[in-house]
Amino acid sequence: MGLRGKRWRMELMPDRTAPRQDGIFLGGADRKRASISDMNRAILKNMIARLGRLLRAPAALAAIVTLLMFGGGDVARAQDPVADFFQGLFGGGRQYRPQHRPPPQEGQRMRRLVPHRDYGAPPAYWHGQSRSAKKTKPQKPATDPAVAPSFFVAVIGDSLGQMLADGLDEAYADRPEIRILHKAKESSGLVRDDFYDWPKAARELAAQGEKIDLAVIMIGSNDRQAIHDATETFESLSPRWRELYAARVEAIRAVFREKKIPLVWVGLPVMKSENFSAGMAQLNEIYRQAAARDGAPFIDVWEAFADEKNQYQAFGPDINGRIVKLRSGDGVHFTDVGARKVAHFVEGEIKRVFETSHPAGAEAGAPPPAEAAGPPQEASPPVAVAPPKIVAPGEPALGAAPALPERPAIGPVQPLTAAVAAGDSELARRRKTTPASSDPHAAAARALVEHIFVEGGDPPSRPGRADDFSWPKGETKSAAPQ
């Protein structure tokens, strides 16, 4: 907005579109900036004139030069209002030198206050994580090294089977004679045999020399997808898909049935997604039908992780009855406490098979009779032993219970329309005779009581009381007994 050397004077004009001398129209903001520019130029012209007069005096010029030469430059620049004005007017400004702080000493270090975290502590119940994201943990060593495990439980399946094995480890931590074998495979299933072929893996597991007394399987969370059979693809849960899937279930059952290894099939729990949960319920039906054909146990844990409306719930009672978080955030897997709850339902079948293979008379951890040390002895003929009679210690013998008197089947008949019985009959209602009294107030009180509570009459009203309906006011309504 230069003036190009032309003399121009700002005038107050009522018209906002009044032209300038150079033909440019001005608005309100332009007039304000032009006024400020004129003031700056007037102040600059005045200061230049004063500076010219000052430089004409030789003594003043010599004083300024001496001050600048002998170290007064910094002070003059710091306190010169003229320099500050020019710097503020034409840009620039006071340049400050950076202040260098002394480096901190080695012994002085700043410490951040962060909460202490115990990395070795087990996960809390309320912040339980899904074990599916964790690496496979090594199996816990036996509690008592002197007792060798004699009962082996192989747990197979997908990530839910891994969590079930972890829960069984915790359940039998104090039972060294029972060993849990972790044979599950994460992200596996019965549909994607190209990723992991479970019928083949089951045959290899049963054929190897490792001892297995019981097999537990929990699988199916990754099986809601299409099955590829040769050159055809069948959609999930279609009729042909169900046939192929049931055949693969039967193939696994046949492997353990051939090796005479009991197989316990654990059903899938309710899921967070309703659509996904409906698919898991149909898979449970296939597992249940296959177990029913073999007469094998099928453990249904659906209701154990559902609410009263048979819907998904993340929190629920644990094995001790406390309300804790049982499911992980994905709505599929379990927390540590939830895995322990699933294992609780499997413990019954493990106990049944264990007691069958290990008689109650044999001590836990004792070697089998064929492997016992010592020379072989001839088997003695079995002797029939009567079962022991269990009697509570210190409990006194109970005598015969006292006989109760016989009661007649039908009591005496009392006619309801007969006359009132005379005498002191309890069912008779009679009017008691009041003794004669010489006190007139007592006789009046008894008459009033008989009138109100026996005959059901109204009490006499009093003037001014709520039941006084006499007219005109003041007349007492007589309610004397007749």
Per domain, the residue ranges of the chain are 28-90, 140-360, 442-482
pLDDT at 482: 46
Q: What is the residue type of 124?
A: A
- For residue 370, which of 383, 361, 382, 379 has the smallest C-alpha distance? 379
Q: What is the residue type of 89?
A: L
Q: How far apart are CA 314 and CA 411, in angstroms?
A: 62
Radius of gyration of the chain (CA): 52
Q: How far apart are CA 291 and CA 303, in angstroms?
A: 19
Q: How far apart are CA 131 and CA 333, in angstroms?
A: 8
- For residue 217, which of 158, 168, 140, 288 has the smallest C-alpha distance? 158
Burial zone of 14 (CB within 10 Å; 0-12 exposed, 13-18 middle, 19+ buried): exposed
Q: Please list the residues that pair with 216 across neighbouring strands.
A: 155, 264
Across the chain, which has 482 residues, the per-10-residue mean pLDDT values are: 46 46 51 67 81 68 64 49 59 56 56 44 40 48 71 96 96 94 95 94 92 96 92 93 96 95 96 95 96 94 94 95 95 96 95 86 44 49 48 44 63 72 52 61 81 82 80 57 46
Q: Does domain 140-360 have CATH number 3.40.50.1110?
A: yes
pLDDT at 441: 74
Q: How far apart are CA 69 and CA 471, in angstroms?
A: 126
In the sheet where 263-266 sits, what is the strand order? 178-182, 151-157, 214-218, 263-266, 298-299
Q: How far apart are CA 436 and CA 445, in angstroms?
A: 13
Q: Please list the residues that pair with 31 across neighbouring strands.
A: none
- H helix count then E strand count, the chain: 10, 9
Q: DSSP H helical segments within 259-409, as ranges?
A: 274-294, 336-357
pLDDT at 175: 92
Q: How far apart are CA 288 and CA 384, in angstroms?
A: 42
pLDDT at 409: 74
pLDDT at 470: 77
pLDDT at 9: 46
- For residue 213, which of 260, 265, 156, 146 has the smallest C-alpha distance? 260
